[in-house]
Amino acid sequence: MKEKKVMKERITKTKNNTNRRTKRIATDMEMYKLPNKVRIFAIACMLLGAIGFVTGYALTPKTIEDVKEIEASHHGDGHGGGHATTDSHGATTAHGGDHAEDAHGGDAHYEHVLHQMQNRPWSALYIASFFFFMIALGALAFYAIQHASQAGWSPVLFRVMEGITAYLPWASGIILILLLLSVFHVNHIFHWMDPELVNPESDHYDKLIDGKKGWLNTTGFLIRAVIYLAGFNAYRWLSRKWTLNQDTATDNRWFKKNFKLAAGFLVFFIYTESMMSWDWIMSFDPHWFSTLFGWYVFAGMMVSAITVIAMITIYLKSQGYLDFVNDSHIHDLAKFMFAFSIFWTYLWFSQFMLIWYANIPEEVTYFVTRIEDYKLPFFGMLAMNFIFPLLILMNSDYKRVNWFVIMAGIVILAGHYIDVFNMVMPGTVGTSWFIGLPELGSLLFFLGLFIFIVFTALTKAPLLAKGSPFMKESKHFHY
Amino acid sequence: MASKVIHAIYNDDDILMNAVKAVRKEHYHIDEVYTPFPVHGLDKAMGLEDTRIAICSFMYGCVGLAVAITMMNYIMIEDWPQNIGGKPSFSYIENMPAFVPIMFEMTVFFAAHLMVITFYMRSKLWPFKKAENPDVRTTDDHFLMAIDAGHHNVDEVSKFLSDTGAIEISLHDKEDDH
């Protein structure tokens, strides 16, 4: 009786609720409805992003003459170290005695820059799509860890994680299309795909890349891509289906099946994630290699994914949903953000210090180009991904302050976008980088798509995975 | 008249937790609770202040970091510069990456050791110290709550405590020196 009355009151309250500051509390089983402003925001992001990207793409120089014009207009701008070297390079050829060689040298330079500039919008698109792919995949791995470890604290967050992983099929499709475009030479962001490089007769023959032909060939590349993506998506599809089954089940059958599936997936994931990062990121610098690269990408993936889980949870709570999530859950997510930020830095430094100390030319060029041509993003992202979260999230109390977590999250996400940027751009566009229309446009587009897909997926099932046998423990979780 | 303390012994941590909450509700003063293992949430139930050891730890870590920086600067740059791996040590900042592991280890070393020492001193623990533990069974499977008898009626308090599930209640003189 009393409950009914309370419910009635609550309903009338919401009906009469014109004051937006009054917090509406949703019941446990209430379905999430996609608010119009979220939908409009997502669509606006996609539209603006698409316009930005297309404009950026249209402004890409088509011929060597365009490049010459651009370089002339930027002359004297002091556009960083890269342009300084081009200037000196241009100067030496211009003052060279032999006229014919001079012209040839100059044009070769402009052609090189033209290729870099033509790679730029494609790289920008690739980086943004990969970044959001990373978030969905990282959330999936985190979700699998919760199942495999039978964690007691996290089941209240399962539906948020499932919402984020709902983006995975979309991200996979987009990545696959982009990889296909590269394989069929629509763009040239993967330098090693040029068949000239492995042809011993050619002028461009590259012995190192030829030596890696066994792994770095387009057929194997595509087959592997399909295997990775099929595996990730199969786990995502099955685990989602089985947790939904568990909601209405009378025993723990689906829970047990999910446990076994998660354990199996994690084994598959840790191998394929490593190989995926070699294929899709490390091969942008085909001469270079690092043995912990897979872990490095993994750390960035996990910290971004957990940050997004925390941010979406806080957002849904602020809208009156997820009443069963208490500040200890937020605290734990923030601890994970903090810990994985440290872990990421640890791997970043382990990779950097060995290469810096050994100073082997074929390895050290990777960091030399980044420090010389990408000084600001390179050191900037270190500050954003390490020093900022270290100082902001160290204090135990701050981890429970929602706006602190959101602030730290925004900086961490921006930092890890720049991290991916730093991993891809030097290998594809070299010194011709800038964060402009194509980069911001594609980032905005995928942000909009991500928000749209994730929040739509959240409406598809109750926000509480009530079938989980750990639900009671999770609801009472207390730090 | 010497002040008295009531010892109530419990044999289950859940019963103890509820008893602590009930005792505090009645505004009796709990001197101390002795348990064989850490009971989750007991500190909050007893109303103990939050520990400040985390702040100490942060400061000790900063000291360790500063020591490492000064030490490496003295050893490797000022006192005896060496050329290791083609990296002449004439500048601290240019050689800094090589010192990061030392900086990290010293930070952890200082934070950990000084934190333990702080904890021992704060808890008044040192070698040959006589145990404050009033009943040896609290090191095995019993929980003991010491309540300040103060001006309360001892019989009333005892009755109340046995209602909270205490299996043994006894009155003792307070030991002044510890």
| A358 to B41: CB separation less than 8 angstroms, yes or no | no
φ, ψ (nearest 5 deg) of residue B10 = -120, 160
pLDDT for A63 equals: 81
Cα A408 from Cα A393, distance rounded (Å): 8
Of A461, A426, A451, A431, nearest in space to A127 by CA: A426
pLDDT for A107 equals: 78
Helix (H, G, I), strand (E, B) or coil at A271: helix
Q: With beta carbons less than 8 A apart as the criterion, state whether A247 and A462 touch.
A: yes
The predicted complex's ipTM stands at 0.80
Confidence at A61, pLDDT banded by 50, 70, 90: confident
Tokens of A300: 């960035």
Confidence at A92, pLDDT banded by 50, 70, 90: very low
Interval A424-475: pLDDT, tens: 999 899 888 888 899 999 999 999 999 999 999 999 999 998 888 898 889 8
pLDDT for A62 equals: 82
Confidence at A79, pLDDT banded by 50, 70, 90: very low
Of A417, A430, A479, A468, nearest in space to A147 by CA: A468
Alpha helices in chain B (DSSP H): 13-25, 42-46, 53-72, 92-122, 154-163
Share of chain A above pLDDT 70, in %: 87
pLDDT for A447 equals: 96
| pLDDT over threshold 50, residue B145 | yes
CA distance B74 to chain A (A): 21
Q: Kindly report the average pLDDT of chain B as a whole number.
A: 89
Confidence at A93, pLDDT banded by 50, 70, 90: very low
Q: With beta carbons less than 8 A apart as the criterion, state whether A202 and A196 touch.
A: yes
Residue matched to tokens 């600067």: B73
Confidence at A12, pLDDT banded by 50, 70, 90: very low
| Closest-CA residue of chain B to A350 | B101
CA distance B173 to chain A (A): 38
User: Helix crossing, A402-428 with A293-318: angle to 10°?
Assistant: 140
Q: E strand or H helix at B8, and its extent? A: strand B4-10
pLDDT for A432 equals: 85
CA distance between the termini of chain A? 35
Sheet holding B143-148, edge to edge: B30-34, B143-148, B4-10, B168-173
| B85 to A352: CB separation less than 8 angstroms, yes or no | no
Of A354, A380, A369, A277, nearest in space to A346 by CA: A354
Q: With beta carbons less than 8 A apart as the criterion, state whether A298 and A273 touch.
A: yes
User: How big is chain B by its Cα radius of gyration, in Å?
Assistant: 26
Q: With beta carbons less than 8 A apart as the criterion, state whether A218 and A203 touch.
A: no
Share of chain A above pLDDT 90, in %: 63
Fill in the amino acid letter for A110.
Y
pLDDT for A105 equals: 56
Residue A359: its chain B contacts at CB < 8 A? 85-87
Confidence at A408, pLDDT banded by 50, 70, 90: very high
Length of chain A counted residue by residue: 479
CA distance A344 to chain B (A): 15
B154 or A236: which carries more pLDDT confidence? A236
pLDDT for A106 equals: 66
CA distance B97 to chain A (A): 6
Interval B81-93: pLDDT, tens: 888 877 877 888 8
| Closest-CA residue of chain A to B97 | A353
pLDDT for A77 equals: 45
Confidence at A29, pLDDT banded by 50, 70, 90: low
Which range, of A23-37, B6-20, B31-45, averages the lowest pLDDT? A23-37
Cβ neighbours of residue A22 under 8 Å, at least 6 residues apart? A13
Interval A302-340: pLDDT, tens: 999 999 999 999 999 999 889 899 999 999 999 999 999
| Closest-CA residue of chain A to B95 | A357
Residue A396: its chain B contacts at CB < 8 A? 54
Confidence at A71, pLDDT banded by 50, 70, 90: confident
Total beta-carbon pairs less than 8 A apart between chain A and chain B? 19
Confidence at A25, pLDDT banded by 50, 70, 90: low
Cα B75 from Cα B142, distance rounded (Å): 55
pTM for the full model? 0.85
Cβ neighbours of residue B145 under 8 Å, at least 6 residues apart? B7, B8, B9, B10, B16, B19, B20, B23, B30, B32, B33, B161, B166
Which range, of A41-55, A130-144, A189-203, A221-235, averages the lowest pLDDT? A189-203
Mutate to test the interface with B, among A335, A357, A371, A477 (most CBs of B within 10 A): A357
Which range, of A110-114, A377-381, A405-409, averages the lowest pLDDT? A110-114
pLDDT for A15 equals: 46
Q: What is the mean pLDDT of residues B49-68?
A: 93
Name the β-bridge partners of B88: B83
Cα A342 from Cα A354, distance rounded (Å): 18
Interface of A with B (CB under 8 A): 349, 352-353, 356-359, 394, 396, 478
Name the β-bridge partners of B147: B6, B30
Of A77, A73, A51, A79, nearest in space to A61 by CA: A73
- The per-residue b/e assignment along A71-109, b for 16 or more CB within 10 angstroms, e otherwise, is beeeeeeebbebbeebeeebeebeeeeeeeeeeebbeeb
Confidence at A26, pLDDT banded by 50, 70, 90: low
pLDDT for A89 equals: 40
| A353 to B97: CB separation less than 8 angstroms, yes or no | yes
pLDDT for A407 equals: 93
Q: Kindly report the average pLDDT of chain A as a whole number.
A: 86
| B85 to A358: CB separation less than 8 angstroms, yes or no | yes
pLDDT for A46 equals: 95
User: Helix crossing, A402-428 with A99-148: angle to 10°?
Assistant: 140
Q: Beta-carbon neighbour count of residue A180 at 10 Å?
A: 13
Q: What is the mean pLDDT of residues A278-301?
A: 94
pLDDT for B178 equals: 46
Interval B5-34: pLDDT, tens: 899 999 998 999 999 999 999 888 898 999
| Closest-CA residue of chain B to A396 | B54
Share of chain B above pLDDT 90, in %: 45
Q: Beta-carbon neighbour count of residue A441 at 10 Å?
A: 24
| Closest-CA residue of chain A to B55 | A395
Residue A357: its chain B contacts at CB < 8 A? 85, 87, 97-98
Tokens of A274: 């490593």
Alpha-carbon B160 to chain mean position: 30
Going A359 to A362 to A366 to A372, the CA torsion angle's sign is positive
pLDDT for A88 equals: 39
- The per-residue b/e assignment along A400-422, b for 16 or more CB within 10 angstroms, e otherwise, is bbbebbbebbebbbbbbbbbbbb
Distances (CA, A) of B156 to A11, A268, B49, B147: 50, 66, 29, 13
| pLDDT over threshold 80, residue A137 | yes
Fill in the amino acid letter for B93.
I
| pLDDT over threshold 70, residue A103 | no
Tokens of A197: 């490089």
Name the β-bridge partners of B146: B7, B32
Q: Beta-carbon neighbour count of residue A316 at 10 Å?
A: 21
Q: Which is it for strands B83-84 and B87-88: parallel, antiparallel or unpaired?
A: antiparallel
Residue B173 gets the label, from left (phi > 0), alpha (psi -120 to 50) or beta, of: beta
From the list A352, A394, A396, the residue facing B97 with the nearest CB is A352
| pLDDT over threshold 50, residue A400 | yes
| pLDDT over threshold 80, residue A195 | yes
| pLDDT over threshold 70, residue A10 | no
Tally DSSP H helices, then E strands, for chain A: 18, 0
